Structure 1
Amino acid sequence: MGDHEHMAIKHNDHILLDQPLLRLPYELLRNNFRSAHFTVEKESTGLKTSLKDATTRCFNGKSTQDDLVRNLDDMIAQAKALRRKLAACADEESRLLGQEDARIKHVDDLYSIASFDDVKYETWSRTRLDRLMGMKDLVDVETLVSMNRIRESLKKGSVQEALVWCSQNKKELRKMDGRLEFDLRFQQFVEMLRSGAEPKTCLAHIKKHLMSHNTLFPSEVKAACGMLAFPFDSVSKSAHGYGAYFQASRWDMLANLFTETHNALLSLPSVPLLNVALSSGLSALKTPACHAAARESAGSDGVVHGATILPSGQQTVCPICSPELKDLAMNVPYAHHTKSIVEHDLVVLPNGRVYGKEKLEQHAKKSGLPASQIKDLQTGEVYGEDQLKKVFIT
């Protein structure tokens, strides 16, 4: 009964990390619909205005037949451009719906699997690993590439791409009460001062983009006004007490702020899901004996320190302490087990592997071995029972 409970899959717990899997295509579909709606509104308004003007000029006798034909040709060209834009939105919608369908099927497949020992679970978990590593249809590569491109542009000292992104997501960012757009506009103002822009231009920028945020960011708005009164000296590199705003490190701050805002808006984790999944598994395995500077061998009594088998003369294979994972595992908490699932009759073989003695005897019997011999369940090596050492867990 205990083994059955242990092997049963708790589906809701199993997909705790998968919220972005279904949420992100939905958010991207909303953005795509909003883009299509904006395009229709903008282009249709332009077409209606052009048609009204052409009709009025025709009735008033202010345009010739050739003028009317040219106007109609322009309107047809606008309509064709609108159709191309909407076709692109439709293609993007189809792609996102296909992704959403594939993801729903992936999650639904899990609910058809009852336990970890089901052969279908291995296939499903392999697909999940492929997804965490970057599998098509289950990973939004384009979104992450776009995010990284904007992040790199900020590190290189340009706010333009980030401001375009803010404009595309203006409503959602307003609901989040974030400061990304304000900080981008503030940095834009700083760069205007650095490049020696006209004071009138800088003042217009403050009035248009910064003053409306005075309640939320009073110190920054006050600093902007101060910098305008005491402009940056490009020769002496003096900023009259405002030097911190001219530091090159601000670009890294903006890049990090953009990444945080982007991920929060699209419900993406701040670290790769593969790292989160690995951390969960590593935490379940971690013991106080892990990461020890020096390890003692089990010795003649066969004691297991921290559930890590250390037979004399052999190296332990501990994933927590392995060179590949030790840095990731260093800060995860120790495992917390409410009940032990360790077999009561553990023994260690000469090769360092640990099994329950009863299981070894049953396996040896099925293999047709004499009563005095046992067989390793994994490697198939055969040993005499007198070579086994009892295991004690401390």
Structure 2
Amino acid sequence: MSDIKALEHPTLKAPAGQLRSQLGSLLEKLELLRRKSAESIAEELEAAAACKRRVEHLKGFEAGGEQWKRQRLDRMLVEHLLRAGYYGTAAKLAERSGLRDQTNMDLFLVSKEVEDSLASRDTSKCLAWCHDNKSKLRKLRSTLEFQLRQQEFVELVRRDRRLEAVRHARRHFGALEDEAQLAEVQRVMSLLALPGARPPNGRWELLGDSRWELLADSRWDLLVQQFRQEQLRLYQLSSCSVLTVTLQAGLSALKTPQCYDENQRNPDCPVCSRALNCLARGLPYAHCSQSRLVCRISGQPLNEHNQPLVLPNGFVYGEQALRAVARRGRVTCPRSRDSFDLREAEKVYVM
């Protein structure tokens, strides 16, 4: 509009061709604005509908019973599988349980396309994703695009296209001001001094230079991991899945020091199991404001109806369990495997 106003003058008539050109440009901008507005409104309506569906699902908690709880578990599993990159398994589970509308499936399917392209050593789709979300990524101070450009430089050096690598560096690294990124650029530029010979057995570390790390194939895996993290930050999703948080809360509520004593482990305790024992290692122990004695054999509480009895070897069990496992008046301690006469067991009094 300012360009059109500049053509106006009280004594000068604007050329018709120039005026048509300016009006055409204005119409194109208005059409682009209309299209972007329509896309934005459609996205907001879709997000509002998704929120409404999920709220309706949560309202069914009281009347849902076991079926609702099973759906909740399946939803947690779908989200966890999507975060871990098992997209096919997650899609099948979501379809079987009818949970596609209650998960961020579409969001992670876009992630799958980008991850597949990175796995095939192609940065184009990830760079396009960075361009589409450029303003948001800048607010998050993301370094993903810089890492992608850096990897492109590395690949050019790997193919011995050094002149093209220098041009690439001038185009994408010339305007950098961040000191950390400048230091990384200096390190990656030192690859130009490496010899052009291929590494022995395909392993760059055998060349005897610490810069082999920049040429390692594992850098592509790091780019995939960084993309996943940036996507979670972009959409304000937590770094841990709901399944992980729920599992950690449950393990912490059951964890005791005995879970890490080989002689004290309980086969019925989830934390004592081999699969979950390592996962719970870094979690806090359960906080019990009021302790309760339980028989190790039967799992029943020790009280006035089930008196605690101590065997001569010092292990304590419930009276009911000892009488149930006794054979001809003798009991075998399940931990020490020692055999005693049941009459040798003495009552324990807890103060």
TM range (shorter): 0.5 to 0.7
Find the partner of 2:269 among 302, 318, 322.
318
Is 1:287 matched up with 2:278?
A: no
1:133 aligns to 2:105 (yes or no): no
Aligned mate of 1:329, from 261, 266, 280? 280
Q: Secondary structure at the match of 1:174?
A: helix
Total equivalences in the alignment: 268
TM-score of the superposition, structure 1-length normalised?
Answer: 0.54
**CA contact 1:231–1:239 (8 Å) conserved in 2:** no
1:261 Cα deviation after fit = 1.9
Q: CA deviation at 1:322?
A: 2.7
| Cross-structure match for 1:218 | 182
**Gaps in structure 2 of 5+ consecutive residues:** 1-15, 79-98, 307-319, 326-344
Distance 2:305 2:73 in 1: 31
Name the amino acid aligned to 2:219.
R
**Are 2:155 and 1:204 equivalent residues in the alignment?**
no
Cα distance, 1:278 vs. partner? Answer: 0.6
The secondary structure found in structure 1 opposite 2:236 is: coil
Deviation by residue 1:210-261 (Cα, 9 ceiling, x = unmatched):
1222433122222344444x36615567798743321222112222222222
Equivalent pair of 1:153/1:159 in contact (CA under 8 Å): yes
Give the match for residue 41 of structure 1. Answer: none
**Amino acid corresponding to residue 300 of structure 2 in structure 1:** V
Q: Is 1:190–2:140 an aligned residue pair?
A: no
Contact 1:260 1:270 in 2 (8 A): yes
Q: List aligned pairs for 1:150-299, cutoff 5 A.
A: 150-197=114-161, 199=163, 201-216=164-179, 217-228=181-192, 230=193, 233-235=196-198, 242-295=211-264
AA partner of residue 321 (structure 1)? C
Alignment RMSD (CA, Å): 4.5
The answer as to 2:17 corresponding to 1:56 is yes
TM-score between both structures, scaled by the size of structure 2? 0.60
Corresponding letter in the other structure for 2:17: T
Q: Secondary structure at the match of 1:271?
A: coil
Q: CA deviation at 1:287?
A: 0.5
Task: Tell me which of 300, 304, 322 is aligned to 1:354.
Answer: 300
Rate the CA distance shift 1:284–1:203 in 2: closer, same or farther, 3 A: same
- Indicate if the aligned counterparts of 2:188 and 2:214 stay in contact, CA closer than 8 A: no
Flag structure 1 segments of 5+ consecutive residues without an equivalent: 1-54, 61-70, 111-117, 297-307, 309-315, 361-382
Highest relative contact order (Cα 8 Å, sep 6+), 1 or 2? 1
Q: 1:194/1:259 Cα in 2 relative to 1: closer, same or farther (>3 Å)? A: same
Contact 1:157 1:251 in 2 (8 A): yes
Identity of matched residues, %: 29
Runs of 4+ in 1 over 4 A off after TM superposition: 57-60, 85-93, 105-110, 118-127, 234-241, 346-350, 355-360, 386-394
Distance 2:116 2:348 in 1: 55
